[in-house]
Amino acid sequence: MAVNKELLDILCCPKCKGEIHLNESQDGLICDSCKLIYPIKDDIPVMLIDEAQQVDAK
C-alpha cells in the first residue's frame, strides 16, 4: 500500500512549508527548496527535520 494521494496533497515540508513530492522509488518525499528527502517507513511519511537527509546532487 502506497502513501494516500489525499495525504500527499496536504503535506508540506516542515522546515520551509513548501511543496513536497514523491521521489522516483516512492520511498521518500522531496522538498526541492530545502534539498531534503523525508523517508517513508511502513507507508507512513516521517516528517521530522532531524530524520530528513540531503538530496544527492545530480
- Say what the pTM is: 0.88
Number of domains in the chain: 1
pLDDT in tens, 11-48: 999 999 999 999 999 999 999 999 999 999 998 999 99
* CATH number of residue 27's parent domain: 2.20.25.10
Domain that holds residue 14: 5-54
User: What's the pLDDT at 58?
Assistant: 56
Backbone angles phi, psi at 28, to 5 degrees: -165, 160
Any idea what DSSP says for residue 7? Answer: H
What is the rounded (10 degree) CA torsion for 39, 41, 47, 50? Answer: -60
